[in-house]
């Protein structure tokens, strides 16, 4: 047999999150529950098409949908509306000329594009600080680009709350021009966010110590049901503290466009000239990886963001999802009390967003899979 060019190719373990979903799908029990993958479902365990998305989809299809290429940087009206949504009015009018943006492949693509730009043409250090715990893909995305990934304690497992002392220590000790990954809201997986006062201290310290903020904004609207409230930290850093920043936005969760891969990666720079240069690099990087981003989901999201009536419907949709998640938290908490579960479970109702960090030992999580609860 001839020698293979791939004889030294290693076998990589399956992604833990998607492996858990596959395990769930293979379970034949009618009462099985998927507690792993972060997708919103209705009471029947089925995907929910947001009313705003359904109407936007109808409008897009009625406009004689064609399948031509988008520009390399994506759909302009979507990009601009996404940046405006995050920065907010009237601040966006004064900041927009300093923004370099590109449509990207949801959250993962947004992070990869921003990190690629930072690695390619900035004076920042190749060191990136990532909270622990965090979304598992953070290390994979940044590590694959050659960044030195450093972790810092984010969550106090004993008190089941934010470990702000360790957060503060990291900010004071990190080398200037290092990058810090910031979950804009609804921290994945703990559901535990800094307070407004803590965000201000984080921002002021980062500015004073020349640390660069990279916001992962995957859950705007899922924390409180309100984009303006959930974008607080980003607006504080950019609008009030006048900091440069990278912002990576996804519409997978808050619009339910999981499979359409709708995202936007943008950087707020010091002046308009820097923004033009930065956007030219984004365009070159985009061309080398995806060439042109997908159109359909961006047209749906752009239609919603640029229409006041649809935007209001979407706001109601987010309130619906957020309220139901809070109700489920409360119901779980109450059932734990009713069944005399040992320990203090108040952290469940203090957390926010899509994820609940129960703090169970691994052996208990594995044991729970026997009665068809597939969690991690």
For residue 71, the domain's CATH number is 3.40.640.10
pLDDT computed for residue 135 by the predictor? 93
What's the average model confidence in pLDDT over 246-265? 97
Do the beta carbons of residue 167 and residue 202 sit within 8 Å?
A: yes
Q: What is the mean pLDDT of residues 114-124?
A: 91
pLDDT classification of 25: cutoffs 50, 70, 90: confident
Predicted local confidence at residue 375, as pLDDT: 54
Whether residue 28 has pLDDT greater than 80? no
CATH of the domain at 23: 3.90.1150.10
Catalytic residues: 135, 216, 253
**Same domain (yes/no): 272, 356:** no
Are 300 and 191 part of one and the same domain? Answer: yes
Kindly tell me the number of DSSP H helices and DSSP E strands found in the chain: 15, 11
Between 375 and 273, residue with greater pLDDT: 273
Residue 295 per-residue DSSP state: S
Examine residue 4 and state whether it is found in any structural domain, yes or no: no
Q: Does a structural domain hold residue 238?
A: yes
- pLDDT score at 23: 78
Environment class of 153 (CB within 10 Å of its CB; exposed 0-12, middle 13-18, buried 19+):
middle
- Which range marks the domain in which residue 177 is found? 62-310
Top-confidence residue, 366 or 253:
253
Provide the pLDDT for residue 376: 55
- Give the whole-angstrom CA distance, residue 283 versus residue 285: 5
Are 212 and 249 in contact by the 8 Å Cβ rule? The answer is no
Average pLDDT over residues 230-240: 98
Q: Are residues 35 and 121 in the same domain?
A: no
The pLDDT score that the predictor gives to residue 14 is 84
Rounded mean pLDDT of 58-72? 91
**Mean pLDDT across 81-90:** 97
Which runs of E-coded beta strand occur in 229-344? 245-250, 262-268
Residue 335, domain member (yes or no): yes
Over residues 64-92, the mean pLDDT reads 95
Q: Sorting pLDDT into bands at 50, 70 and 90, what band is 74?
A: very high
289 and 318 assigned to the same domain: no
- The whole-number pLDDT of residue 364 equals 81
The answer to whether residues 122 and 39 belong to one domain is no
pTM: 0.93
- pLDDT for 109: 98
8 Å CB contact between 317 and 310? no
Distance CA 374, CA 365 (A): 8
- Pair 303, 318 in one domain: no
Residues 268, 157, single domain; the answer is yes
> For 63-89, what is the mean pLDDT?
95
Check residue 371 and give its pLDDT.
62
The overall average pLDDT reported for the chain is 93
Query: Phi/psi of residue 234, each to 5°?
Result: -60, -45
> Is 45 part of any domain?
yes
Domain count across the chain: 2
> What is the percent of the chain where pLDDT is above 70?
97
**Do 248 and 133 sit in the same domain of this protein?**
yes
| pLDDT for 356 | 83
Is residue 1 in some structural domain? no
Residue 316 domain flag: yes
> What does the DSSP 8-state code read for residue 260?
G
């Amino acid at each position: 047999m001839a020698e293979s060019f791939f004889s030294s190719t290693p076998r990589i373990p399956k992604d833990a999150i998607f492996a858990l979903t596959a395990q769930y799908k293979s379970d034949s029990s009618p009462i099985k529950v998927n507690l792993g993958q972060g997708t919103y479902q209705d009471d029947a365990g089925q995907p929910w098409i947001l009313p705003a998305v359904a109407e936007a989809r109808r409008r897009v299809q009625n406009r004689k949908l064609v399948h031509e290429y988008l520009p390399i940087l994506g759909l302009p009206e979507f990009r601009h509306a996404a940046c405006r949504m995050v920065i907010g009015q009237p601040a966006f009018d004064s900041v927009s000329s300093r923004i370099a943006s590109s449509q990207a492949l949801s959250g993962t693509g947004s992070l990869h594009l921003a990190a690629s730009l930072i690695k390619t043409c900035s004076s920042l250090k190749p060191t990136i600080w990532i909270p622990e715990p965090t979304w598992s893909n953070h290390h994979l995305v940044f590590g694959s680009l050659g960044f030195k990934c450093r972790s810092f304690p984010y969550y106090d497992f004993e008190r089941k709350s934010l470990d702000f002392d360790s957060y503060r220590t990291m900010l004071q000790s990190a080398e200037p021009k290092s990058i810090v990954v910031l979950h804009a809201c609804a921290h994945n997986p703990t559901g535990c966010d800094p307070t407004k006062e803590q965000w201000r201290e984080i921002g002021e310290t980062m500015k004073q110590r020349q640390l660069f903020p990279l916001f992962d904004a995957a859950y705007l609207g899922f924390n409180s049901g309100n984009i303006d409230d959930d974008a607080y930290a980003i607006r504080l850093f950019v609008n009030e503290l006048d900091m440069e920043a990278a912002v990576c936005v996804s519409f997978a969760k808050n619009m339910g466009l999981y499979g359409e891969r709708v995202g936007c990666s943008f950087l707020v720079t010091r002046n308009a000239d820097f923004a033009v240069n930065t956007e030219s690099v984004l365009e070159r990087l985009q061309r080398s990886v995806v060439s042109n981003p997908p159109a359909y989901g961006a047209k749906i999201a752009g239609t919603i963001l640029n229409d006041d009536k649809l935007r209001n419907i979407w706001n109601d949709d987010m309130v619906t999802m957020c309220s139901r998640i809070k109700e489920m938290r409360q119901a779980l908490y109450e059932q734990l009390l009713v069944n005399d579960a040992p320990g203090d479970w108040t952290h469940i109702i203090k957390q926010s967003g899509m994820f609940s960090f129960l703090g169970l030992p691994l052996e208990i999580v594995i044991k729970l899979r026997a009665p068809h609860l597939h969690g991690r």
